[in-house]
Amino acid sequence: MTLEKPLISGHPTRLARLNDYLLAALLLAVVVYVQLSGLQAMSIAVYSAAGLAVLFAILAETGRLANQFAITPTQIVVHEGIVGKHRMSLFLNNVTDVTVKQSRLEAILGYGTVIAGSTSGLQHMQLKIRVRKPKDFANKLEHLIKEYTHSLTKPHSS
């Protein structure tokens, strides 16, 4: 992923794909209910619902695994995609703000998006990482940024 050893790395939390997983579970529950209750349902409909449940679960998991992040001692790196890979990186000394974004449901479930932003001239860049405990993650990231920028301003002894 990077040449430096990551201090923090991972994939987005599964909770970020909660809608997909819930839809798969709901479809699977309908299939199980129809089978257990002995209802006479068209087998094509039951098999289609089961197939859709599996498809939603696979898409949710591959979508999650296709995205990866790492925070190294000097930068934040985000990789996105399976076939069309996209790599974005931001050096810690260029990060101007760290923001946590959570909906009410995300706050209840304990996940959210940490956004590291940088403004360089007219260009604005944001790296978004979906994690559990986003406030703790943002605090760790801000601490790493302070350490790194402090190490850059410290006079070097020869």
pLDDT digits (tens, 9 = 90+) for 105-118: 999 999 999 999 98
Distance CA 20, CA 18 (A): 5
Distance, CA of 122 to CA of 128 (rounded, Å): 20
Q: What rounded mean pLDDT belongs to the chain?
A: 87
Closest CA relative to residue 140, chosen from 71, 63, 82, 61: 71
What's the whole-model pTM score?
0.79
What is residue 35's predicted lDDT score, i.e. its pLDDT?
Answer: 81
Q: What is the pLDDT of residues 90-105, one digit of tens each?
A: 999 889 999 999 999 9
Q: What is the pLDDT of residues 43-94, one digit of tens each?
A: 888 888 889 999 989 988 998 999 999 999 999 999 998 888 899 999 998 8
Asked whether the beta carbons of 63 and 17 are under 8 A apart, the reply is yes
